[in-house]
Structure 1
Amino acid sequence: MTEFWEENFVDKQEMWGNEPSKSAILTKDFFLENSVRNVLIPGIGYGRNAKVFKDNGIDVTGIEISKTAIELAYKNYRTDMDIYHGSVAEMPFDKKKYNGIFCYALIHLLDNDERKKLIKDCYNQLTENGYMFFTAITKQAPNFRKGKLISKDRYEFHKGAKIFYYDKESVKTEFEQFGLFEIKEVSENQPMFLIKCKKS
């Protein structure tokens, strides 16, 4: 996975442009309304989604597997945020608790055990009454059931990228015990769920 993303960022640089995703904007609005002041972003990439939080006075800490992506984040955006270089599989990187966690288009790239660990690790780093929002690709995506079948609902269409496609049932199965309170459909470059959880 490290090699796959490093090669992609070296080759394609800011491959998704510099505008934040719709999900990041929706999350920023919710976080501001609910007094979230510091956010952890696992899989921060080159920082396009971090900027919308930073620009609204929210402190951001990131985790990123690609060294090139981290360099792009510091070059293009702000240097006054900590980004840990490593895989989310190695969480936690610090002992800090966060009011909010925003994890964009990452969880569906993991296998079953890795997804469980990421959700639990994120939940464990939330303050009481903190929120964690994930985006995950849905079965409405055009590539669902295309490519090599890896396991149930998980396919490898592009070499190196194994994707698990969610429906509402699988979201509930994985997130219900972690304070799930809403599943919102959002159209990004792919159909996504914006999965909202609160730690009580």
Structure 2
Amino acid sequence: IKNVLIPGIGYGRNAQVFLDHGIDVTGIEISETAIELARKHCGPALTIHHGSVTSMPFDNRRYDGIFCYALVHLLNTRERQKFIRDCYNQLTENGYMVFTAITKEASDFGKGKLISKDRYELHDGVQIYFYDRESVHTEFATAGLFEVTEINENQPFFLIKCRKSEE
């Protein structure tokens, strides 16, 4: 893997491991404050597009890898579908996408105001879609889904792995 796209790069915490291994990192981030922190944290080696992941693509590059941590579940159905498709379309042949998404096992599932099936508005107006295995398969099936595992990162998440096969 020579280059990675990180949608929702935040302050760059997830970029550092790739940079440390000589991988070219491009990020997308909506928060200007987070972008400033990422540039301080990671230095000039980082390319960051300012904007929402719902406005992808920001460039016409193809990436060997896409790493998306704790973001996809913040989008509505239409945005999630477009986002997953946009990510897949920016992969090189045999490229990999890795997503983490919150599961229905999370303590917040079923709390707050129901917006739509499995999507709730929680404290501070944050809207979260809670995944189960069926919804992971439904949303990622056309994006080269090959593995779903459960992990715990202070909350229960699915680690979703996809690969773009030769077309």
TM superposition score category, shorter chain reference: over 0.9
Mapping of 1:2-151 within 5 angstroms?
36-151=1-116
What are the ranges of 5 or more consecutive residues in structure 1 without an aligned counterpart? 1-35
Percentage of identical aligned residues: 70
C-alpha distance in 1, partners of 2:5/2:90?
9
**Two-structure CA RMSD over aligned residues (Å):** 0.7
Aligned to 1:33: none
> Could you give the per-residue CA deviations for residues 87-110 of structure 1, whole angstroms, max 9, x where no partner exists?
011100000000000011000000
Aligned to 2:142: 177
Question: Among residues 94, 97, 122, which one is paired with 1:157 in the alignment?
Answer: 122
- SS of 2:33's equivalent? helix
- The amino acid of 1:92's aligned partner reads P
C-alpha distance in 2, partners of 1:184/1:37?
25
C-alpha distance in 1, partners of 2:29/2:109?
26
- Relative to the length of structure 2, the TM-score reads 0.97
- Relative to the length of structure 1, the TM-score reads 0.81
Judging by fraction of residues, say which structure has more helix. 1
> Could you give the per-residue CA deviations for residues 110-130 of structure 1, whole angstroms, max 9, x where no partner exists?
000000000000000000110
C-alpha distance in 1, partners of 2:5/2:27?
6
Aligned residues: 165
C-alpha distance in 2, partners of 1:184/1:120?
21
Judging by fraction of residues, say which structure has more strand. 2
C-alpha distance in 1, partners of 2:21/2:158?
24
> Could you give the per-residue CA deviations for residues 5-46 of structure 1, whole angstroms, max 9, x where no partner exists?
xxxxxxxxxxxxxxxxxxxxxxxxxxxxxxx11000000000
> Could you give the per-residue CA deviations for residues 58-95 of structure 1, whole angstroms, max 9, x where no partner exists?
11000000000000011122221110000011100000
What are the ranges of 5 or more consecutive residues in structure 2 without an aligned counterpart? none
